[in-house]
Amino acid sequence: MSPEWHIAIDTQEQRRKVAMVEGRARRDDHVADDGEVEFSFTLYPDQASLNVPASTQGRQFIARLTEILGPPKLPPTVKCSCSWGDGVMGAMLIVLWDLPADPAHPLVQSLHAFLGTRIAFPG
């Protein structure tokens, strides 16, 4: 069983066909200052896109999401080396998952339960 994660949502925005969530995640077995990872998650009706620092914690967060969503569409890819919050510089990973189009699907509901979000896509 994987360690518990604590998720703090900083911003959540619902647009017509996309939802965006930004936040921070930390595993129970990591101290707050060392183990927190910032993330940006974009949810489309049939796909999810995660941007996360290319750090050990970022890769652990990807692994936990993979437990929920299954294997990503493509392996995590280095997106760029750019600024990430508070002036921190570093490489970012982008990960894409296909999602069932039905927002009531158990996989989609498990994702929202893990993140602590409730996002509905207009029909």
pLDDT at 1 over 60: no
Q: What is the CB-side half-sphere exposure of residue 109 using CA atoms within 13 A?
A: 4
* Contacts with 31 (C-beta within 8 Å, 6 or more apart), sequence order: none
For residues 34 and 64, give the distance between their C-alpha atoms in angstroms, rounded to a whole number: 18
pLDDT at 123 over 50: no
Tens-place pLDDT, residues 100-116: 988 889 999 999 999 98
Helix (H) or strand (E) holding 23: strand 19-27
Q: Looking at residue 101, what is its pLDDT? A: 87
Tens-place pLDDT, residues 24-83: 999 887 665 667 899 999 999 899 999 999 989 999 999 999 999 999 998 999 877 666
Q: Are 101 and 46 in contact (CB under 8 A)?
A: yes
Q: What is the CB-side half-sphere exposure of residue 26 using CA atoms within 13 A?
A: 12
Confidence of residue 86 (pLDDT cuts 50, 70, 90): low
